Structure 1
Amino acid sequence: METDNTKKFTELFSGFEDFNEEDQKQKIIEINRVINEMNKEEFKSVFTVEMFNKMNKMIEEKKLTINKAFLLLKYIASRKALKMFWNGDFSYSGLSKNFEKLIIEEDMKKEGKNEKLFIDLCECYLSLSCFFPTELLHICVFSLLKVALKKEETEEAQKEVEMALLTLSDVSEYCEMTKDKYLNETKEIILYHQERHNLTRLAYQCTWMFMIRRIFLDRSLEEVVVNELHFSREARRELEELSKCIDWKREKEEEEGEREVKEEIVLLRWLQSLETFFESFEVWNDEFVELIRCVTQIFQSAKDNYREISGQCTHLLNKVVDNGSVNIYGLLKGKTIEIFLEEIQLQTLNDKMSNECFAYFLAISLRLKGKEYDKMKEAKRKITKRKVFEKIEEEGYEDCIISFCEAIPFFSSKYYYELSKNISDYFVNV
C-alpha cells in the first residue's frame, strides 16, 4: 500500500534522469530525508530490483554519474544497516552485476587504479548485497580494513572510516578468513581509539561488532576480546556516555513518531551486539559485573518511554542469566534482581515484560538448584542461594508468583520463552 513516504520517493526518483547534475544533487538530499522517515515495510517496497535496475540504466546512459549514484546508495546502505532492515533485492539487480564487474576490473589494474572509485564500489556492493562470491568478499573486506585504519581526525576522514566499519560489521560473520588477515588491524583500530578517541561512537561500536561476530568462527578470539581489549569495560563506558545523551523523560506520546537520534540507534546496536556475545561466551571476569549493572540502569531509565530499548535490555539480561559461564554472584552485585522484583509487582506491567521477568527468575532458580557451570564450591553456592532467597522474600516475590500462577501458561503460549507451569521452579530451595 502506498504511503506518504513511498509516494514522495516515487515522485522524486521518477524524473531523476531529466535533471542536471546540480539539481540531481539537491534531489538526492530530499530523497535522503524521505528515506530517513521510512519504516521497514516502506523501505522494502521502494528499494526493489526494478529501482536498482533503473539506476543502473541511468548510469549506463550517462544520465546519472556513478559518484551521484554512490551518494544515494551509501545513504540507503547506512539506513539499512542502522535500522537492521533486511532487503536482498540489490543482489538480483543489474546494478549489482555491474558493480561486481567494476570491482574486479579495478582490483586487477597494475597502474592507474582509482582508489576512491574502488572503495566506493566495495562499500556499496557489500553493504547492499545479501550474498557475494568469496573472492569478491575478500577483496572488499581487505580494502575496507585499510580505510578503517586511517588516523586522520577530519570530519571527512571520520565519515569514510565510519562507513567502512559499518559495512565491515555487517559482513563479518560471512567472511571466512584467518586471524592474520584482520586481527592486528582491528586491534590497532580499537587500541588507537582507546588512547586518542579518534572514532565516532558509531564507528567504534561497529569495530567491536566486527570482532564479536568473528568469535563464532574462531573461539580463540574470546580471550583477546575479554581480557586483552577489555570489551566489557569499553562497552560499559560507551553505554554510560550514550545514556547521558538521551532524554529519558520525553513525553510518552512522542514514542509513536519516528523520532530518532543517532545516540539511541548506537545504544541499541551496542545492546544487540552484547546479546550476540552473551549467547555463547565462556570467559568471565569481574568487569562484567559493572556492565550488567549498567544495562540494568539503562532498562530502568528506558522502561517508561523507550520500549524498544527497555525490551532489548530485558532480552539481553535473560541471555546473560541463561549462559552458564556467568557468575550468579556477579548477577546479584549487578542489581538486576532488585530492579526486576520491583517491575514484576507493578500493575501496569505489560504481558511481554511479565514474561521476560518471570523467565529471568526461572533461569536463576533452576541454575541455583543445579550445579554451577563454573564449579562453584557447595558452601559458596548455598550462601549465594540464601542471598537470592532473602532478596526475593523481602520484596514479596512469593506472593507475586502465586498471584500470577494462572497467567504463566498464557505467557508461555504467547511468547517464545517456555515458562514452567510448576510454581516450585520459581523458588530457590535453601
Structure 2
Amino acid sequence: MQKMTETVNTKKFTELFSDLERCNKEEQKQKILEMNEAMEEMDEKEFKSVFTTELFDKICRMIEERKIYLKDSILMLKHVGYFNVLKCACINCFENSSLKKKVGEIIIEEEHKKEEKNEKIFVDLCKCYISLSYNIPPELRSICVLCLLKAALNKEESEEVQKEVEMTLLALSNITMWKNIPEELFLSEIKEIIKYHQDHHNLTRLAFQSAWQFLTSRLLFIKKLETVILNELHFVGEARRELEESIRHIDWKGKGEEKEKNRIERKEEILLVRWLRMLGRFFVKCKLWNEESTELFSSIVQVFGVAKGNYSEICEECIRSFIAAVKNRVVILDSLLKIGAIDAAFEEIPKSTIKVQMIYYCLKFFIEISRRIKEEKERKDLKRKVFDKLEEEGYEDIIIGLCYCMYKWEFGYLHLIKNCPDYFVYL
C-alpha cells in the first residue's frame, strides 16, 4: 500500500487488513466487520488515502490465491462501495485495478449459469461493481441494473432486508452519468419501488432518496420521464416532505463543524445534502413548472435559514440549487424571488467569517438573476443593492477584489465567470 499520513481510523483499517491472510475463516470475518466499522468513521480524505489501486490489486491477488474467502471479500467490498457513494468520495482507483476486471468476470460467469447460481453472491457482486465503477461495459450495465432492481423489489420489512435494499438502491444512485439505459430496463421496476413505499413506507429514507436519484438522473436522456416523475409519482410533494423531515432530525443549535456528531446525525446531514444536490440537477433539466414546484423552494429557503452559520456545506448546496433554478428559463423568476431566496443569499454575504466559496455561489446567484431580468433599470437596481450591501457591511476591500471570488475551477484551470466585471463596474 502507498505511504499516507495515518489517522486513528486509517491505522486501524490497515492493521486489520494486514492480518487477514493469517486468519481462519471466523477470525477473517470478524476482522472485516471491524474494518467496516473503521470505514464508517473515515472522512472523505481518509477514505481516499486507504483505497488505492494497489490495495484493490492486493485484494484481487488474495482472492485468486485463496487467502481471503470470496464471501468475506464481498462483505468488505460492499461496504467500500456503500461508503464511497455515501461520502461522495469518488475513489477512482478501482477503475484501473485488476479487481474490477475480476469482479466483472465473476458477474458474467454467474449470469450465464443455468444451475447452482448463487443469487446472493450475484446481487452482492453487482452492488460492489456498480458502487465503485464509473465506466461500465454495456453488457455489465444491463446485467447489473436488472439484477439490482429485482433485488430492490424485496418488500420484506425486517431491518436486515431494509439495510440490503438501502445498499442496493444507493449503488443504483451511483450511475447518474451512464447513458443508454433503455426505459424498458428500469421504468416499471423503479416506479413500483417508489409507489410501494408511498403506500407502505417500507424503505429507509436514504433508500427512498436513492431511488429518486436513480430515476431523476435518467431524465437527462429520456425527456418524457418528467411527466411520470411530477404527475404520476408526485416528486415535488415527496421532496418537500423529505426536506422538512431532515429539518426535524438535525440538531441545528450545535456548531456543525465543531461539535462531536453521532453516526445518526452525520447520516442525516449526508441525506439532506444528497437531496439538495439531486434537486439542483433536477432544476436544470425540468421543463414543466407550476406553483407547487415553486413551493419546493420555500422548503429549501427553510433549510438555508436553519443551517446558516453552522452548516456551510448545506448552505452552499441551497444556493447552488437556486442558481440551477434561475438558469432554467421555464422557472418563473418572480415567484422564485417572492419566497425569499435572494434575501437568504444577501444575509449570507456580510458574515464575519465569510468564505470565498460561499461568496462565489451567492454572487453567481445574483449574476444569474440579473441575466433573467428583462428591464435594464431593474437589473441595475439589483446590482446596486448587492454593491451597497457589501459597502454597508464594511467590505470595501472585498468589493475591490471581488473578481477573485468569481473564478471557477474547470479542466484544471481557473476561469473568470463571463460578464463578472460588468456586474460591479458598470453600475
Q: TM-score range by the shorter chain?
A: 0.7 to 0.9
Match of 2:286 among 276, 281, 286: 281
What is the CA-CA distance between 1:294 and the residue it aligns to?
0.8
Q: Is the 8 Å Cα contact of residues 364 and 406 (structure 2) preserved in structure 1?
A: no
1:364 aligns with 2:369: yes
Cα 1:410–1:171, aligned 2, differ >3 Å: closer, same or farther?
closer
Output one character per residue of 1:9-38: Cα deviation in whole Å (capped at 9) or x when no partner.
221111211112222222112212222233
Match of residue 239 from structure 2: 235
Match of residue 111 from structure 2: 107
Match of residue 399 from structure 1: 388
How many pairs does the alignment contain?
411
Q: Is the 8 Å Cα contact of residues 319 and 345 (structure 2) preserved in structure 1?
A: no
Match of residue 15 from structure 1: 19
Name stretches of at least 5 consecutive residues in structure 2 with no aligned partner. 410-414
Measured in 2, the distance between the counterparts of 1:53 and 1:230 equals 45
Match of 2:340 among 331, 335, 341: 335
Cα 1:105–1:347, aligned 2, differ >3 Å: closer, same or farther?
closer
What is the CA-CA distance between 1:256 and the residue it aligns to?
9.0
Measured in 1, the distance between the counterparts of 2:351 and 2:61 equals 59
1:412 aligns with 2:412: no
Match of residue 46 from structure 1: 50
Cα 1:252–1:216, aligned 2, differ >3 Å: closer, same or farther?
closer
Match of 1:190 among 184, 190, 194: 194
Match of residue 2 from structure 1: 5
Match of residue 180 from structure 1: 184
Residues 266-275 or 47-56, more deviating: 47-56
Q: Is the 8 Å Cα contact of residues 239 and 267 (structure 1) preserved in structure 2?
A: yes
1:158 aligns with 2:162: yes
Q: Secondary structure of 1:174's partner?
A: coil
1:74 aligns with 2:82: no
Cα 1:90–1:362, aligned 2, differ >3 Å: closer, same or farther?
closer
Aligned Cα RMSD in Å? 2.9
Q: Is the 8 Å Cα contact of residues 162 and 203 (structure 1) preserved in structure 2?
A: yes
Output one character per residue of 1:272-306: Cα deviation in whole Å (capped at 9) or x when no partner.
11111112321112112221111111112111111
What is the CA-CA distance between 1:136 and the residue it aligns to?
1.2
Measured in 2, the distance between the counterparts of 1:72 and 1:218 equals 35
Residues 212-221 or 125-134, more deviating: 125-134
TM-score, normalised via structure 2 length: 0.87
- For 2:271, give the aligned amino acid: V
Match of residue 247 from structure 1: 251
Residues 23-32 or 348-357, more deviating: 348-357
Cα 1:258–1:247, aligned 2, differ >3 Å: closer, same or farther?
closer
What is the CA-CA distance between 1:348 and the residue it aligns to?
4.6
Q: Is the 8 Å Cα contact of residues 82 and 265 (structure 1) preserved in structure 2?
A: yes
Measured in 2, the distance between the counterparts of 1:414 and 1:121 equals 38
Output one character per residue of 1:41-91: Cα deviation in whole Å (capped at 9) or x when no partner.
432332223322322232233332211111111111111001111222223
Cα 1:10–1:310, aligned 2, differ >3 Å: closer, same or farther?
same
What is the correspondence of 1:205-354 to structure 2 with a 5 Å cutoff? 205-251=209-255, 254=258, 261-354=266-359
What is the CA-CA distance between 1:192 and the residue it aligns to?
1.2
Output one character per residue of 1:191-211: Cα deviation in whole Å (capped at 9) or x when no partner.
111111111011100111101
Output one character per residue of 1:296-328: Cα deviation in whole Å (capped at 9) or x when no partner.
111121111111111111122111112211111
Cα 1:408–1:90, aligned 2, differ >3 Å: closer, same or farther?
closer
Name stretches of at least 5 consecutive residues in structure 1 with no aligned partner. 372-381
What is the CA-CA distance between 1:137 and the residue it aligns to?
1.2
TM-score, normalised via structure 1 length: 0.87
Output one character per residue of 1:95-140: Cα deviation in whole Å (capped at 9) or x when no partner.
3222222212221122222111211111112222232221011111
Q: Secondary structure of 2:89's partner?
A: coil
Q: Secondary structure of 1:86's partner?
A: coil
Q: Secondary structure of 2:406's partner?
A: helix
Q: Is the 8 Å Cα contact of residues 173 and 216 (structure 1) preserved in structure 2?
A: no
Match of residue 355 from structure 1: 360
Output one character per residue of 1:361-396: Cα deviation in whole Å (capped at 9) or x when no partner.
33223312269xxxxxxxxxx9xx69x97xx79x97
- For 1:420, give the aligned amino acid: C
Measured in 2, the distance between the counterparts of 1:186 and 1:253 equals 36
Measured in 2, the distance between the counterparts of 1:20 and 1:305 equals 47
Measured in 2, the distance between the counterparts of 1:90 and 1:65 equals 20
Q: Secondary structure of 1:89's partner?
A: coil
Match of residue 422 from structure 1: 422
1:87 aligns with 2:76: no
